[in-house]
Structure 1
């Protein structure tokens, strides 16, 4: 049966799926009960399903979507070039994992830096990139917040380039969907980095943290995130038969529950016609 998008039937099916998934999650005692969920049509921006999508919460590594967005802005403006090297400072090298583990003074190509942030969510590289673009991580975080406002992300603020726990980091599922949509529209070539299944670094093969790549038909990005205060977050986009959807889940209780919720919400969205 085809369910018209935005219809009462569509909302009921999506709500039942979300409820079933919430019941199957492994509870964390510090996690808020509500999980933020949102599905939008990427072609016209229409919201197909939303549940607690405007609750303000921690973004975790979804923050790095904006870190890379500003990098892609700089590449387009010509102030950053693919031939540039990104040098690791002491501050960048001191970041908590996930990280590549470069020593201070070492460098990597811009392409490798972008891949490390998009695929491994490398905190050390994200900070090094922020320092290269903004002079300091603090100044870059201010630029991230300003760019968020320009995209209509009214409830988002950044205090670092990584999403590591900080009182200054906040967002909503709705705002993350706006950022995902802007990435697709303004930086389609940059978006392609999020589809990278794995990278090779120092004799290691590092798999993308987005487990839906290659497992859910049509999924080709975009980013996962986790911190204790944020829970398990995922913004994902999929395209089937010429139709593209964006699904965002924030604050899930496990990676498995997060992936399952996003997968089911995408299925419901595509079934909506």
Structure 2
């Protein structure tokens, strides 16, 4: 039976297309992020800052009680710097006592410890305790808001501005999902002991027991913080963080329609992140990546490694498709010092460049003897 040349070409072309589509199907296995009914959201790997999913993360919105994350951040710094202590007794002002919204029910003129006020703010989301802490540190809530904005600038929260310590509505008081993720990460990394307070499920003050408003603490055992917020202007929002198998994810969900929606949306995002992504340490700075020949040196070769541990976020199962391409000088001449940048390492996944990072010398390799240098110089003429 004779088969025409055109038919053979057709069959081969079809086979190539079919195999190509199968390969793409193996690679493109991650669905779109869940639809959660928020005005803005952001899901990041806290170790790498990799954005797993997002929706308008730089949209300026009222943060409501999530503001208290910045209030707490300022308080944590004041405690760390010995400007205040947990045992300080704070006299409750009339302004703090009259605070509207969520409260821990402190009484005007009474003395309350900084520790109790901190718990009342973190667990019970007390507007009254937030104002009392602000006044204790800065004298007035207005002066305290200046500190909040100074710290926001230091953290490069470029789309945030704070007018008060509680998050009560003000047209000039705003933040973004991206900025709030930066703030949450700063609290987790800089103040790990204080961050543990955010996992407290209930707190009792003045014989009034109130639960933590972050109900994800009950629903998902991997969730260990961090803060809810809601007003009629802001809607219902939640910054949450979880840790599973040593991978920490931070979720920021802003402007949902109900308390249930913010919890369900946050849970859906966290599950999406953990189901499809993983934090991978691909390269360690102490491990030799490649050994290269050197010229005019005491030793004939030297080991190179990445300058810092290379940690990245990858789709699950994709690490076996990582490719490494070295970009090195044709001839590496001495003297060489430990840590000296020799070249670069290009890291690719499925042909797409993920990063280009330095390769550095793992040890010193000084100049060789005069005879060695002359020999290598002559040999290089013929290379």
Structure 2 residue 68 is matched with structure 1 residue 13:
no
Alignment of 1:144-223 (within 5 A): 144-223=148-227
**Match of 2:112?**
108
Distance in 1 (CA, whole Å) between partners of 2:28 and 2:51 is: 13
Contact 1:13 1:268 in 2 (8 A): no
Contact 1:114 1:193 in 2 (8 A): no
Deviations 1:112-147 (A, max 9, x none): 111100011100110010001111100101110110
Aligned pair in 2 of structure 1 residues 98, 45: CA closer, same or farther (>3 Å)? same
Which segments of structure 1 move beyond 6 Å, counting only runs of 4 or more? none
Contact 2:161 2:175 in 1 (8 A): yes
Unaligned runs of 5+ in 2: 1-26, 279-383
**3-state SS of 1:159 partner:** coil
Work out which structure has the larger RCO, using CA pairs closer than 8 Å and 6 or more positions apart in sequence.
Answer: 1
- What's the offset of the Cα at 1:189? 1.0
Distance in 2 (CA, whole Å) between partners of 1:105 and 1:59 is: 30
Structure 2 residue 103 is matched with structure 1 residue 99:
yes
Structure 2 residue 286 is matched with structure 1 residue 267:
no
Distance in 2 (CA, whole Å) between partners of 1:164 and 1:83 is: 27
Contact 2:105 2:206 in 1 (8 A): no
Distance in 2 (CA, whole Å) between partners of 1:8 and 1:99 is: 49
Distance in 1 (CA, whole Å) between partners of 2:28 and 2:57 is: 18
Unaligned runs of 5+ in 1: 1-6, 23-33
**Match of 1:129?**
133
Structure 2 residue 78 is matched with structure 1 residue 74:
yes
**Match of 1:40?**
44
Distance in 2 (CA, whole Å) between partners of 1:96 and 1:153 is: 27
**Match of 1:25?**
none
Deviations 1:233-257 (A, max 9, x none): 1000000111100000000011101
- What's the offset of the Cα at 1:202? 2.1
- What's the offset of the Cα at 1:217? 3.1
Deviations 1:147-192 (A, max 9, x none): 0111010000000000011112100000000000000111111111
- What's the offset of the Cα at 1:9? 4.7
RMSD over aligned Cα atoms:
1.3
User: Which one of the candidate residues 109, 122, 125 is aligned to 1:118?
Assistant: 122
Alignment of 1:206-245 (within 5 A): 206-245=210-249
Aligned pair in 2 of structure 1 residues 56, 8: CA closer, same or farther (>3 Å)? farther
TM-score, length of structure 1 as denominator length: 0.89
Aligned length: 251
TM-score, length of structure 2 as denominator length: 0.64
Distance in 2 (CA, whole Å) between partners of 1:40 and 1:227 is: 25
Alignment of 1:84-95 (within 5 A): 84-95=88-99
Deviations 1:216-268 (A, max 9, x none): 13000000000111111100000011110000000001110110010010001
Contact 2:106 2:206 in 1 (8 A): no
Distance in 2 (CA, whole Å) between partners of 1:102 and 1:197 is: 20
